[in-house]
Chain A
Amino acid sequence: MKDESIKKVLLLGSGALKIGQAGEFDYSGSQALKALKEEGIETVLINPNIATVQTSEGVADKIYFLPVTPFFVEKVIAKERPQGILLSFGGQTALNCGVEIYKSGVLEKYGVKVLGTPVQAIMDTEDRDLFVKKLDEIEVNTIKSHSAESMEEAREAAHNLGYPLIVRAAYALGGLGSGFVDNDEQLEEICEKAFSFSPQVLVEKSLKGWKEIEYEVVRDRFDNCITVCNMENFDPLGIHTGESIVVAPSQTLSNKDYHFLRELSIKIIRHIGIVGECNVQYAYDPDSMDYRVIEVNARLSRSSALASKATGYPLAFVAAKLGLGYGLFDLKNSVTKTTPAFFEPALDYIVCKIPRWDLSKFHGVSRKIGSSMKSVGEVMSVGRSFEETIQKGLRMIGQGAHGFVGNKEIVVKDLDEALREPTDTRIFAISKAMLAGYSVDKIHDLTKIDKWFLGKLENIVRTYHSLMGCERLEDVDFGLLRTAKQQGFSDHQIQAAVFGNSDIKPSVLQDKVREYRKSLGILPVVKQIDTLAAEFPAQTNYLYLTYNGTVNDIRYESDGKSVIVLGSGAYRIGSSVEFDWCSVSCLQEAQKQGYRGVMINYNPETVSTDYDMCDRLYFDELTFERVLDIIELETPHGVVVSVGGQIPNNLALRLHEHDVPILGTSAVDIDRAEDRHKFSSIVDALGIDQPEWSELTTMSDVDKFIKRVGYPVLVRPSYVLSGAAMNVCYDEAHLRRFLTLAAEVSAEHPVVISQFMTRCKEVEFDAVADNGKIVVYAISEHIEYAGVHSGDATIQFPAQKIYVETARRIRKVAAKIAEELHISGPFNIQFLAKENVVKVIECNLRASRSFPFVSKVMKLNFIELATKVMLGLHPSKPDKSTFDLDYVGVKSSQFSFARLQEADPLLGVDMSSTGEVGCLGDDMNEALLKSVISVGNNIPEKKVLISSGNALQKADMLLACHTLADHGYEIYATGGTFRYLQENNIPAVKVLWPNDEENPELKGRYPQVLDLIHNRKVDLVINIPKNFTDMELDNGYRIRRAAIDSNVPLFTNARLATAFIRAFCTMSLEDVQIKSWDEY
């Protein structure tokens, strides 16, 4: 059935992870590549995201770490000459790029066939007008806006549509003059207001409170269709589906509803002409069968990744095969291996997806959630009751919640408002309301969340009250305890409810609950996710645990041949796809060494949660309780805690205390590195330098300490009232403001203050040691000076500009630490370096964010080696050295400020990037250029705006400004910078600061900076914040925000800006070489 003319296929990846486009496309792309490989088709991948699994050795035949832009894609096509291209596996980035090269004729020129859904169908779904027209043809309802220019027209539109309506003023920003309308009277009123803002109003059907339902639909070229899964949003319409809690399958739809929408989905996919996979989103009236199609995604999406994980149906894999011309009937169900892929999964469990937000990492961003996406990751929980599933999910989010109840109570000013106006913590506002006695009806009125969901949540609260009524553990009888566990209560929650504020440590009480529970025989059982609800036996081990069952699906071998790898959980700022790569690498190596690879993770966006990647996958919590449950079932050879980032790392000591064999570095040594005090005294004892620091509990101690070390200082409070958790304070006023307004200093909440070193280099040391001896290491260097979080910094590897002496000292220090901590496995040390003095700032006895980057640049998999070490194989030192590399790798960070309205895009000591790329080049300039373009920047054509901070920073930028001027760039500069450039004989145009506008003497004499940016008169903005006075911050903020909102590349760091300017002035895009990974 397949198209035999296709021998080589190009797949476009999605680039760096960002809000709205995250790890799900690593999973989709990896699946597609696997599907092609199975067919003997040569695969070429373009994706600059070096931390992904899909860009690992052996996944694609050729890998290009290049920007996914029409320019580079055309170059690769010209070089590789593939017969086919896949556009739908790399998110919106790949789709947009694909549509562009289709329209510009590139695909036709090189005879490249788009596999799967035709480009016309993609365009029909992407363009709003075409989309509405297309669905009108088959009489399918979409959401339509009627414009009216008079009251008469507004009335007519209103009567055609029927109330309730929403009326908006056209062309008005920020919703001015808009409102909900329930009757003629209100219509007159709101329209009158709207017409005062705008000559035109838009009248739309109000779908407030409607359900949001999605279907994942698959079609082959023979017109066979299936719907793999449907999903229902817990949050009604108005909240982006990426921001909603979502359950699968739908819970409140009857058979009529379910199949009515299913039939429509198939009608739509046929009419649009999808070949492969697509997603249909509906708004559905809770009081009738009225519906609107919200949108159709003609590509793999976040929802399709979720649906794949929710059902076990590998959508991306199947879609790739369909693109090659297969029919669904040709393919097998990859779980049963006997029945066909033409079927619709039957679930015998419920899944719940919950988004993970990190809004506290951003300055100035609103916590309200709505129609645009702000979350950075998500989790999926699996269970056999809604109560169990949502409580599991809320723990998985990893923001301190123990479930729906029993949490540190959230602080809200107005509970009703917190329910009505959703924020990232609304679910906890519901909890608070229920505990405060709000009825389901009242909460429903405020939130419009279906009463079915609320009723279930109320069950949890009811059980919580019963538990709290117990004085002692023995008062919790079998029935209550079992009910609690079946509703997803953790042992910790039960402990907290029963014992309240006990003097005994919660972990000890939790152990007591566990012991008591087991003595009553209340244990979770393991169930398979098998696509057919047990109708046919499953050949795969895709598993979850539940208390709503009595029989285990799995019979355990108990042969001590399992290696459990703990994954990284939800993607968040600071922990993302890089740990997925580490987990997958570790699993693969363990399997290669003859062990059974067992994975525990719950992030639906990952490759590590693909049941094909391991022998047994537990899609379940990474809590101490659940991990111990699984360990007791598996009785493994050992557990790996060092490849999944901080979550598993934090479990090490407790697991060790419960006699769990931890592979690699001992838990006690991990703790010696993690505990600030212990580590500090080790470093002192070894005679290694570190920035001075102290943990302080009173303001007078703080003052004393600072008197000794001087400003600036890095302040890390343990209790944060608002804003970021870490801050650099440059003077006393700043410190006082931070420690009074934003944080607390007390005996209960100490604050850690350390000396902050300015104009220092930051160096990363990634390595693997075996029994305290270093086996392999990589030294990489930040381009920015210390002060930019290592996760936000631009990193060059091998280090290009540190002294040989510095490198030697770093190696020696690292060797001492490795020996002292008896490290066996991966570790990372961060150093500050200034004139050959090196200081240790952090040490993690686990894989770090940069492991995939250095591994891939060096072409030496550090995790493979680390896994061998952890399995006791004592690998020999590889005979590869960074000195042999005749190329450079540069890792750049991806920011998502465009999605985060009003956030200040300023970098600091707290991390705010959401993703990264890594590119290779023959020299630093080439690698940097590729890398910086890969995160969405462009080389400026003519005009550059510079506002460059204090004297030192201005001096830092001087050379770069000369270079710009020499290359014919026109420089626009704000006041001080303008003068400085003039003094140094660099021609520049003076522009006004935003607040100069108010000065009548200046106004109109010079161009205004915000106008320049908004009108895109400049195509690069360099804004280096000078100091932290309010006015300066505000002026700078408005410039930075304007650059982000107008999509003009923005640099806020002098060293990075200089490096970028040097790069694009040294070489042009045309000079960039199109070399695949294996050509380096």
Chain B
Amino acid sequence: MQQKGATLRLANGMEFRGWSFGYDGPCDGETVFSTAMVGYPESLTDPSYSGQILCVTYPLVGNYGVPSEGVDENGISLNFESERIWVRGLVISEYSFNFSHWDAVKSLDQWLKEQKIPGIYGIDTRALTQVLRDNGSMLGMIVPDGVEKDFPVPDPNLDNQVAIVSCKEVIRYGHGDKKVVLVDCGVKHNILRCFVNRGVELIRVPWDYDFNQLEYDGLFISNGPGNPELCDVTVGNIRKAMETGKPIFGICMGNQLLARAAGAKTYKLKYGHRSHNQPARIIGTQKCYITSQNHGFAVDDSTLGEGWEPWFVNMNDGSNEGIRHKSLPFCSVQFHPEASSGPTDTKILFDEFIAKL
């Protein structure tokens, strides 16, 4: 097998040598790690990874290939979390050239090539993860041999990533008695499925769309990439919606934007939470959940405005995992109850929200 060398270069000057796979070209972005052991097709298509180079700590990747593209009758992707790969580059230890799964139609390598996403394997991903853990997420680049590329490169967190990944026009899905407006900050398709499968009519709107003119029963603010401070337009719209008293629910970026609408500050975590094993506890109870997460920013819940309270807390580092209004039906979580990829323990939150409509 012809192997082509490649280098992963970090902004702090460190270099890791490996082999190129997927698209044969360079890329750059914020280098982050995820400790999830399964779910690369889901992760790669998760818009929250926009602007990022993803390092997977589980060393064997590609084992079960890539499932088919294609959409269901609502136009929602069958097997992915969006229409394309959003990760800018993939860093792994061991690539499985042979894949085996009844549902697979192609290899990861082929898929990355088709989507023009560079990958690098043969990296000591544990060592890289320790660097990112100790120094924080940092800019990096994958450079195949024979290509000239060096720092500086633009910091994706300075760009409005939400604007890049959000839909450009209003899209409607499903049928039902209840209408939910979904503000698309980079929504994962499993969130769409979770609503549609529960018999809700979903109106997906762009991140900066003023949905207050629409008729709806509940408002949902989706997950999304990057810095929540760049989404003040959305925050303004949410504030307006809050005046109606209609139920609001948010996930991930949705948690951060609702918190900002509630007067709180957000901040960047050193290296974020990206895994399938984050423990979250409902504050003041003995109820705990294993959650799927993917975020680099968090809510400072000590700054929440009047009438609000923290709802969930991360049991590893004490960071905020959700907020709620003390009297009104407004709440949001930092983790991903829709899972995909990850554990499904908190799916019930969709039922709770829909029950309020």
Contacts and interface: CB of A to CB of B under 8 A. Distances in A.
Task: Determine the interface band of chain B, counting residues with CB < 8 A from chain A.
Answer: 35 or more
A806 interface: no
Interface in B284-315: 286-288, 290, 315
A344 B291 CA distance: 10
Interface stretch (A115-123, A502-510, A529-537, A987-995): A529-537
A452 B64 CA distance: 8
Interface string A302-331: 000000000000000000000000011100
Interface string B61-83: 00110010000000000000000
Given A255-B39, A258-B38, A346-B35, 17 more contacts: A224-B287, A225-B345, A249-B37, A251-B60, A253-B64, A254-B67, A255-B42, A339-B315, A343-B315, A348-B59, A348-B129, A384-B59, A455-B100, A532-B277, A534-B57, A535-B129, A551-B126
B343 interface: yes
B279 A287 contact: no
B130 A534 contact: yes
Interface of B: 16, 33, 35-39, 41-42, 57-60, 63-64, 67, 93-94, 96-103, 124-127, 129-130, 133, 275-279, 281, 286-288, 290, 315-317, 339-345
Contacts of B100: 252, 450-452, 455
B38 A328 contact: no
Enumerate the 3 nearest inter-chain pairs by beta-carbon distance, A residue then B residue, closest first.
A455-B98, A255-B39, A551-B127
A700 interface: no
Contact of B58 (A223, A226, A346): A346
Interface of A: 222-226, 249-256, 258-259, 262-263, 266, 286-288, 327-329, 339-340, 342-350, 384-386, 440, 450-452, 455-456, 525, 527, 532-537, 548-551, 553
B38 A343 contact: no
Given A386-B60, A549-B126, A346 B36 contact: yes
A250 B100 CA distance: 13
Contacts of B278: 343
A348 B59 CA distance: 6
A347 B56 CA distance: 11
Given A345-B277, A347-B58, A452-B98, A226 B290 contact: yes
Contacts of B317: 339
A344 B102 contact: no
B350 to A, nearest CB: 15
Contact of A343 (B37, B279, B339): B279
B94 A344 contact: no
A261 to B, nearest CB: 11
A385 B290 contact: no
Contacts of A345: 277
A259 B344 contact: yes
A255 B38 contact: yes
B12 to A, nearest CB: 15
A22 to B, nearest CB: 29
Given A224-B287, A533-B58, A534-B130, A266 B277 contact: no
Contact of A288 (B99, B102, B124, B287): B102
A550 B126 CA distance: 9
Contacts of A287: 102
B48 to A, nearest CB: 16
B17 to A, nearest CB: 8
6 contacts: A329-B288, A346-B275, A525-B124, A533-B57, A533-B129, A551-B127
A534 B93 contact: no
Contacts of A258: 37-39
B268 to A, nearest CB: 17
A343 B277 contact: yes
Given A263-B344, A350-B59, A254 B103 contact: yes
A755 B341 CA distance: 69
Contact of A385 (B36, B59, B130): B59
Given A255-B341, A452-B99, A329 B126 contact: no
A259 B291 CA distance: 12
Given A340-B279, A452-B98, A452-B99, A535 B339 contact: no
A286 B100 CA distance: 10
A549 B127 contact: yes
A527 B58 CA distance: 14
Nearest to B131: A551
B340 A255 contact: yes
Given A346-B57, A534-B129, A551-B127, A252 B64 contact: yes
A224 B286 contact: yes
A456 B99 CA distance: 10
B58 A548 contact: no
Contact of A327 (B93, B124, B286): B286
Contacts of B99: 452
Contacts of A456: 96, 98
A385 B94 contact: yes
A532 B288 contact: no
A610 B94 CA distance: 29
A346 B63 contact: no
A226 B276 CA distance: 12
Identify which of A249, A288, A450, A550 gathers the most chain B CB atoms within 10 Å of its CB. Answer: A550
Contacts of B102: 286-288
Nearest to A263: B344
Given A259-B342, A452-B100, A222 B287 contact: yes
Contacts of B339: 259
A155 B302 CA distance: 68
Contacts of A349: 59
Nearest to A453: B100
Given A254-B67, A327-B286, A534 B133 contact: yes
A348 B126 CA distance: 7
B38 A253 contact: yes
Nearest to A531: B277
Contacts of A533: 35, 57-58, 126, 129, 275
A329 B343 CA distance: 18
A344 B290 contact: yes
Contact of A222 (B33, B63, B286): B286
A489 to B, nearest CB: 16
Nearest to B292: A259
Nearest to B98: A455
Given A346-B57, A452-B99, A533-B58, A340 B64 contact: no
A348 B286 contact: no
A550 B99 CA distance: 26
A286 B315 CA distance: 37
Given A455-B100, A550-B16, A344 B277 contact: yes
A347 B315 contact: no
Contacts of B16: 550
Given A222-B287, A288-B102, A340 B315 contact: yes
A350 B38 contact: no
A167 B15 CA distance: 61
Contacts of B103: 254, 256
A310 B78 CA distance: 34
Contacts of A346: 35-37, 57-58, 275-277
A549 B17 CA distance: 11
A306 to B, nearest CB: 17
A597 to B, nearest CB: 25
Contacts of B275: 346, 533, 535
Contacts of A266: 345
Nearest to A221: B286
Contacts of B341: 255, 259
A350 B60 contact: yes
A1002 B193 CA distance: 80
Contacts of A551: 124, 126-127, 130
A451 B98 contact: yes
Identify which of B59, B342, B343 gathers the most chain A CB atoms within 10 Å of its CB. Answer: B59
A385 to B, nearest CB: 5
Contacts of A339: 279, 315-317
Identify which of B57, B93, B100, B340 gathers the most chain A CB atoms within 10 Å of its CB. Answer: B100
B127 A343 contact: no
